[in-house]
Structure 1
Amino acid sequence: MGALVLAVAGLFLFYAYASSEFSTGGGYEVTARFTTVGSLKPGSDVRMSGIKVGTVSKQVLDPQTYLAEVTLSIDESIQLPIDSSAAVSSEGLLGGNFVDLVPGADEKMLAPGERIELTQDAVDFIQMLSRFMFQAGSSGSGSGSGSGSSAPMGAAPGTN
């Protein structure tokens, strides 16, 4: 019985290793800086047109700019134009984050170690939802709050 359990565990580990598209090298590294990376972590996918072309290999906080500097390991067969952009995208409301690369049109290619300058930060769905709920709750349709103003939140009365 124990041998059967070990065999099944071994098969599971083999399957997990084979399906993870784990690679032990090859490729080149580029960096990108983001204000926020959400739940992005080392090992997260780097995708282009929805296809995995690399992984996030490292994340550090730049002590001078307080930006998250993310190192991306890109497959050596993929050459990125120097005006390419990187965005932290989400797989859905409850899914993890990944880096989505959009190639530029420049003739010059990014060299290993260079930085992708055009970036877009992660969208925090929970924070966006809480802001929406707070604004909806504070509009108070007929709640008798006494303000009598229909100005948007943060706007002075009479500046519509």
Structure 2
Amino acid sequence: MNRNPLETIMGALVLLVAAVFLVFATTTADLRQVQGYPLHASFTKVGGLSVGGEVRLAGIQVGSVTGQRLDPDTFEAVVDMSVLDSVRLPTDTRAAIASDGLLGGSYIKLIPGSSDDMLEPDAELARTENYQSLEDLVGEIIFLATQPAGGGG
């Protein structure tokens, strides 16, 4: 087989660029789970939330989802998460499942309360807001739009 040396050099160059890109992507992306204290929250539905998903406070990642399971008594989804040790949350903190845009994934949004008492490790967040999908929102809009105007019934 008589190969052109230019093809071999170009193939090696493409492999080198791919390797450099892979190293760059793995070093700049923060793909590891946040190590901290565990918390739990129960939801009636979690949407597209997955293990490894982000836990955010004021838009900043402060934790990650470490597990999901179904409570056999209440049939609710229990989400386990890990929050940075440096972030102490009040006991009346709310957890909501939010979407990162139309094509983005889901994440847990923490909304701190005003209590002076702080959550202990392995605590359950008592106040949660369930995931509301785009289909649910469209259904509500259609329902409201089809109601008679001024029907104070």
- Tell whether the structures are fold-level matches, with TM greater than 0.5: yes
Q: When the two structures are superposed, what TM-score results if normalisation uses the length of structure 2?
A: 0.79
Q: 1:2 offset after TM fit, Å?
A: 4.3
1:91 aligns with 2:103: no
Q: Which moved more, 1:23-32 or 1:46-55?
A: 23-32
Q: Which amino acid in the other structure matches residue 51 of structure 2?
A: P
| C-alpha distance in 1 between matches for 2:34 and 2:99 | 26
Residues 21-74 of structure 1 deviation map (CA, whole Å, 9 limit, x = unaligned): 234663111110001111111111111001111111111111111101001111
1:128 aligns with 2:137: yes
User: What pairs up with 1:133-152 in 2 under 5 angstroms?
Assistant: 133=142, 139=146
Task: Tell me, yes or no, if the aligned pair for 1:47 and 1:100 is still in contact at 8 Å.
Answer: yes
Distance 1:131 1:109, change over 3 A: closer
Residues 86-118 of structure 1 deviation map (CA, whole Å, 9 limit, x = unaligned): 000112233221100011222222122111111
Task: Tell me, yes or no, if the aligned pair for 1:47 and 1:98 is still in contact at 8 Å.
Answer: yes
Q: Which runs of 5+ in 1 are unaligned?
A: 140-149, 153-157
Task: Tell me, yes or no, if the aligned pair for 1:58 and 1:72 is still in contact at 8 Å.
Answer: yes
Q: 1:83 offset after TM fit, Å?
A: 1.2
Q: 1:80 offset after TM fit, Å?
A: 1.1
Q: Which amino acid in the other structure matches residue 115 of structure 2?
A: D
Q: When the two structures are superposed, what TM-score results if normalisation uses the length of structure 1?
A: 0.76
Instruction: Tell me how many residue pairs correspond in the alignment.
Output: 143
Q: Identify the residue that residue 146 of structure 1 maps to in structure 2.
A: none
Q: Identify the residue that residue 30 of structure 2 maps to in structure 1.
A: 21
| Secondary structure class of the residue paired with 1:8 | helix
| C-alpha distance in 2 between matches for 1:133 and 1:54 | 36
Q: Identify the residue that residue 33 of structure 1 maps to in structure 2.
A: 42
| C-alpha distance in 2 between matches for 1:131 and 1:24 | 36
Q: Identify the residue that residue 65 of structure 1 maps to in structure 2.
A: 74
Percent identity reads: 40
Q: Which amino acid in the other structure matches residue 65 of structure 1?
A: T
Q: 1:82 offset after TM fit, Å?
A: 1.3
Q: Which runs of 5+ in 2 are unaligned?
A: 1-9
